[in-house]
């Protein structure tokens, strides 16, 4: 998919809303549509909106095989993560004050954990292995008698690597501890069956799965029951867990997006796997390229690559007609490279050289083809500009150089 | 991050037309050449600057410059901007160049000022290297 001749390969950041989802959402906004407040019990407008919300809830529940009553609407995965982590920790603080998570979690998990540390909780941040996977053994040995919550992501947003949440969940359940999983990157990419995996709380986002931004959901298990302290009070919506008038059009959008994901996952996967293979094959023809993450254990829609001797941000600038994102934080306000790549033990220069390509439903064969052509060319040009590449060609081992660092 | 148009143009021109923008290398052993290299790969930027000089009166004049830079777009643009300022200058004049001039010329955002500092250091080192050879 391209607009203004820019190729979009940043689906892991956000996806466009599927036109079928957008047209469904339009039915719940205008005077002609079902604009009512789902909480209005006294008239038809309210009943219709409520019906739509409950149908959407079923679509979300169907995709992950849970009871619709276990789905709580939130403003997105960030709020769902916050509600799960802070909500459970605060509710059960008399039981214990220790939380286990990992260093490669999204900031939406790490920052609530930091907040809980300020409130007196103790948090263990697990290291991934060198491929970006959190092992169940690491979780097991981190659990203590006062652990109340374990929060481990399903699919890492930078690498696409998949954690074995079933295995981790079994260990955590065995110890009578709550298990939260951030699944923002999972829906429509891998199958999730909450009847089979012992997860107590799971966060979802609509806009990573062709739904609108500003809506997400938290799965809260009923059996065994999980209780949490609400973050937002006022009106007691969502059984008191999340007050605030339900955004009918957003919710309908998420429901429709997840219904489509359920139907179209097999087709989406076939196409995206094909692009992944092609991309991998062509990129490997470039010298000194490193794939970050675990090729045998990842989703095909995300591909994180380090181009040695080329700095990531300059590569993104060079790829000006292609929308991708960088593991190099030179693009953001800080000058540190990606904390995820650092946690893998990648050398800083490789972390500085990484780019994340992510494909999606509207990616075309031409998009992939064009990107590969441009990519090879720009990497070559930037290397000709790079003193590190020159030193490498001269046979100098960069690790032995004494740098004049700042 | 939103870069100024000037950074983007400088970066793209340098990338698309490296020879015209003095990308390349001189033989560092040449007695007329001074080489400066600053930064570190782990920090995300390395600049290598080489000047070719000849004596003129009591001083030395920069006749030609070559550079290579590994780093973000503004690091590459900063080196390229500096290189343009150098040709024809005496070493005294070159020493007087301050990073602020690069910041102003490229409208660098505050977070990228270190790129201009690196560029200033690279010319200082190159001059030191050259003077040590004379």
A94 touches B: beta carbon within 8 Å: no
Query: What is the predicted pLDDT for the residue at A329?
Result: 46
Query: What is the predicted pLDDT for the residue at A331?
Result: 45
Q: Could you write out the three-class secondary structure of chain A?
A: CEECCEEECECCCCCCCCHHHHHHHHCCCCCCCCCCCCCCCCCHHHHHHHHHHHHHHHHHHHHHCCCHHHEEEECCHHHHHHHHHHHHHHHCCCCCCEEEEECCCCHHHHHHHHHHHHCCCEEEEECCCCCCCCCHHHHHHHCCCCEEEEECCCECCCCCEECCHHHHHHHHHHCCCEEEEECCCCCCCCCCCCCCCCCCEEEEECCCCCCCCCCEEEEECCCCCCCCCCCCCCCCCHHHCCCCCCCHHHHHHHHHHHHHHHHHHHHHHHHHHHHHHHHHHHHCCCCCEEEECCCCCECCCEEEEEECCCCHHHHHHHCCCEECEECEHHHCCCCCECHHHHHCCCCHHHHHCEEEEECCCCCCHHHHHHHHHHHHHHHHHHHHCCHHHHHHHCCCCHHHCCCECC
* Per-residue pLDDT tens digits for A44-100: 999 999 999 999 999 999 999 999 999 999 999 999 999 999 999 999 999 999 999
**Cα–Cα distance for residue pair A143/A150, rounded to 1 Å:** 8
Q: Which long-range contacts (CB under 8 A, 24 or more apart) does A123-128 make?
A: A123/A98, A123/A99, A124/A98, A124/A99, A124/A100, A125/A101, A126/A100, A126/A101, A126/A102, A126/A152, A127/A102, A127/A103, A127/A343, A128/A102, A128/A103, A128/A104, A128/A161, A128/A343, A128/A344
* Per-residue pLDDT tens digits for B15-54: 999 999 999 999 999 999 999 999 988 888 999 999 999 9
Mutate to test the interface with A, among B70, B99, B112 (most CBs of A within 10 A): B70
Count Cβ–Cβ pairs < 8 Å, chain A vs chain B: 104
**Catalytic residue (one of B12, B43, B56, B107):** B43
At B96, the pLDDT band (50, 70, 90 cuts) reads very high
Taking contacts as CB-CB distances below 8 angstroms, the residues of chain A near B2 are: none
**Cα–Cα distance for residue pair A203/A171, rounded to 1 Å:** 20
Q: Which of the two residues, A351 and A259, has the higher pLDDT score?
A: A259
**Cα–Cα distance for residue pair A222/A323, rounded to 1 Å:** 41
Question: Does B41 contact A332 at a Cβ distance shorter than 8 Å?
Answer: no
Question: Does B43 contact A382 at a Cβ distance shorter than 8 Å?
Answer: no
Question: Does A311 contact B11 at a Cβ distance shorter than 8 Å?
Answer: no
Q: Residue A94, class by beta-carbon neighbours within 10 Å (0-12 exposed, 13-18 middle, 19+ buried)?
A: exposed
Query: What is the predicted pLDDT for the residue at A333?
Result: 47
Give the angle subtended at the CA of A134 by the CAs of A132 and A138, to the nearest 5°: 140
Measured in angstroms, the CA of A352 and the nearest CA of chain B are apart by: 6
The question of whether A330 is a catalytic residue gets the answer yes
The model carries a pTM of: 0.93
Q: How far is CA A345 from CA A228, A310, A313, B43, in A?
A: 36, 19, 20, 16
At A18, the pLDDT band (50, 70, 90 cuts) reads very high
**Catalytic residue (one of A39, A171, A280, A330):** A330
A387 touches B: beta carbon within 8 Å: yes
Question: Does A348 contact B37 at a Cβ distance shorter than 8 Å?
Answer: no
**Catalytic residue (one of B23, B75, B115, B126):** B115
Question: Does A348 contact B43 at a Cβ distance shorter than 8 Å?
Answer: yes
Q: What percent of chain A has pLDDT over 70?
A: 96
Q: Residue A315, class by beta-carbon neighbours within 10 Å (0-12 exposed, 13-18 middle, 19+ buried)?
A: buried
Instruction: Residue count of chain B, please give it.
Output: 134
Taking contacts as CB-CB distances below 8 angstroms, the residues of chain A near B40 are: 403-406
Question: Does A387 contact B12 at a Cβ distance shorter than 8 Å?
Answer: no
Query: What is the predicted pLDDT for the residue at A336?
Result: 66
Query: What is the predicted pLDDT for the residue at B48?
Result: 96
**Cα–Cα distance for residue pair B48/A385, rounded to 1 Å:** 10
Question: Does B38 contact A332 at a Cβ distance shorter than 8 Å?
Answer: no
Query: What is the predicted pLDDT for the residue at B134?
Result: 87
Taking contacts as CB-CB distances below 8 angstroms, the residues of chain B near A406 are: 38-40, 43, 114, 117-118, 121
Give the angle subtended at the CA of A204 by the CAs of A202 and A206, to the nearest 5°: 170
The question of whether B53 is a catalytic residue gets the answer no
A402 touches B: beta carbon within 8 Å: no
Q: Residue A285, class by beta-carbon neighbours within 10 Å (0-12 exposed, 13-18 middle, 19+ buried)?
A: exposed
At A330, the pLDDT band (50, 70, 90 cuts) reads very low
What is the DSSP pairing of strand A178-182 with strand A6-8? unpaired
Q: pLDDT averaged over chain A?
A: 94
Taking contacts as CB-CB distances below 8 angstroms, the residues of chain A near B12 are: 317, 320
Contact of A59 with A255, CB cutoff 8 Å: yes
pLDDT higher than threshold 80 for residue A334: no
* Per-residue pLDDT tens digits for A271-319: 999 999 999 999 999 999 999 999 999 999 999 999 999 998 899 999 9
**Cα–Cα distance for residue pair B27/B21, rounded to 1 Å:** 18
- Cross-strand bridge partners of residue B90: B61
Averaged over B64-69, what is the pLDDT?
A: 97
Instruction: For chain B, list residues whose CB is within 8 angstroms of any CB belonging to chain A.
Output: 1, 3, 8, 11-12, 14-16, 18, 23, 25, 37-48, 68-73, 75-76, 111, 114, 117-118, 121, 125
Question: Does B118 contact A406 at a Cβ distance shorter than 8 Å?
Answer: yes
Question: Does B68 contact A381 at a Cβ distance shorter than 8 Å?
Answer: no
Of B39, B40, B73, the CB nearest to A317: B73
Q: What percent of chain A has pLDDT over 90?
A: 88
A327 touches B: beta carbon within 8 Å: no
Contact residues for A369 (Cβ-Cβ < 8 A; gap 6+) = none
Taking contacts as CB-CB distances below 8 angstroms, the residues of chain A near B75 are: 311, 314
Query: What is the predicted pLDDT for the residue at A406?
Result: 61
Taking contacts as CB-CB distances below 8 angstroms, the residues of chain B near A400 are: none
Question: Does B42 contact A385 at a Cβ distance shorter than 8 Å?
Answer: no
Averaged over A119-127, what is the pLDDT?
A: 98
A205 touches B: beta carbon within 8 Å: no
**Cα–Cα distance for residue pair A186/A302, rounded to 1 Å:** 11
Query: What is the predicted pLDDT for the residue at B125?
Result: 96
Contact residues for A358 (Cβ-Cβ < 8 A; gap 6+) = A9, A10, A11, A12, A13, A160, A301, A302, A303, A324
Taking contacts as CB-CB distances below 8 angstroms, the residues of chain B near A389 are: 70
At A386, the pLDDT band (50, 70, 90 cuts) reads very high
Backbone angles phi and psi of A360, in degrees to 5: -155, -170
Query: What is the predicted pLDDT for the residue at A399?
Result: 86
Q: What is the Cα A345 distance to its own chain's centre?
A: 21
């Amino acid at each position: 998919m391209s607009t203004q001749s820019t190729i979009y390969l940043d689906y892991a950041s956000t996806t466009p809303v599927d036109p079928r989802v957008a047209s469904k959402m339009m039915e719940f906004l205008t005077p002609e549509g079902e604009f009512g407040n789902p909480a209005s019990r006294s008239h038809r407008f309210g009943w219709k909106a409520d019906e739509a919300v409950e149908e959407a809830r079923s679509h979300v529940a169907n995709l992950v095989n849970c009871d619709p009553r276990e789905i709580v609407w939130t403003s997105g995965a960030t709020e769902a993560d916050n509600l799960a982590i802070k909500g459970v920790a605060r509710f059960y603080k008399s039981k214990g004050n220790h939380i286990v998570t990992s260093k490669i979690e999204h900031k939406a998990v790490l920052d609530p954990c930091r907040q809980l540390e300020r409130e007196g909780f103790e948090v263990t941040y697990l290291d991934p292995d060198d491929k970006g996977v959190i092992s169940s053994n690491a979780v097991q040995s981190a659990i203590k008698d006062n652990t109340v919550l374990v929060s481990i992501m399903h699919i890492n947003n930078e690498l696409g690597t998949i954690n074995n949440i079933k295995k981790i969940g079994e260990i955590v359940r065995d110890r009578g501890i709550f298990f939260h999983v951030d699944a923002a990157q999972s829906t429509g990419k891998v199958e999730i069956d909450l009847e089979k995996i012992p997860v107590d709380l799971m966060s979802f986002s609509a806009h990573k799965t062709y739904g609108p931004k500003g809506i997400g959901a938290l799965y809260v298990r009923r059996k065994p029951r999980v209780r949490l302290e609400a973050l937002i009070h006022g009106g007691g919506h969502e059984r008191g867990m999340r007050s605030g008038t339900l955004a009918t059009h957003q919710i309908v959008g998420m429901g429709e997006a997840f219904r489509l994901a359920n139907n179209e996952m097999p087709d989406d996967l076939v196409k995206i796997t094909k692009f992944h293979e092609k991309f991998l094959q062509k990129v490997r023809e470039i010298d000194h390229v490193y794939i970050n993450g675990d090729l045998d254990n990842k989703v095909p829609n995300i591909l994180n690559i380090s181009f040695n001797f080329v700095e990531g941000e300059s590569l993104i600038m060079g790829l000006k007609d292609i929308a991708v994102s960088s593991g190099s934080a030179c693009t953001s306000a800080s000058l540190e490279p990606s904390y995820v790549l650092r946690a893998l033990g990648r050398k800083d220069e490789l972390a500085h050289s990484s780019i994340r390509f992510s494909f999606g439903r509207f990616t075309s064969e031409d998009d992939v083809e064009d990107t590969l052509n441009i990519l090879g060319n720009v990497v070559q040009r930037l290397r000709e500009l790079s003193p590190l590449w020159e030193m490498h060609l001269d046979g100098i081992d960069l690790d032995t150089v004494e740098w004049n660092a700042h | 991050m939103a870069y100024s148009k000037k950074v983007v143009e400088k970066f793209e021109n340098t990338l698309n037309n490296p020879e015209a923008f003095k990308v390349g290398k001189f033989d560092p052993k040449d007695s007329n050449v001074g080489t400066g290299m600053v930064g570190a790969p782990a920090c995300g930027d390395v600049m290598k600057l080489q000047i070719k000089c000849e004596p003129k009166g009591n001083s030395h004049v920069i006749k030609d410059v070559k550079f290579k830079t590994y780093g973000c777009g503004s690091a590459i643009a900063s080196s390229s901007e500096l290189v343009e300022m150098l040709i024809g200058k005496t070493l005294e004049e070159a020493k007087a160049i301050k990073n602020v001039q690069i910041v102003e010329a490229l409208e660098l955002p505050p977070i990228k000022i270190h790129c201009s500092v690196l560029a200033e250091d690279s010319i200082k080192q190159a001059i030191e290297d050259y003077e040590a050879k004379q």
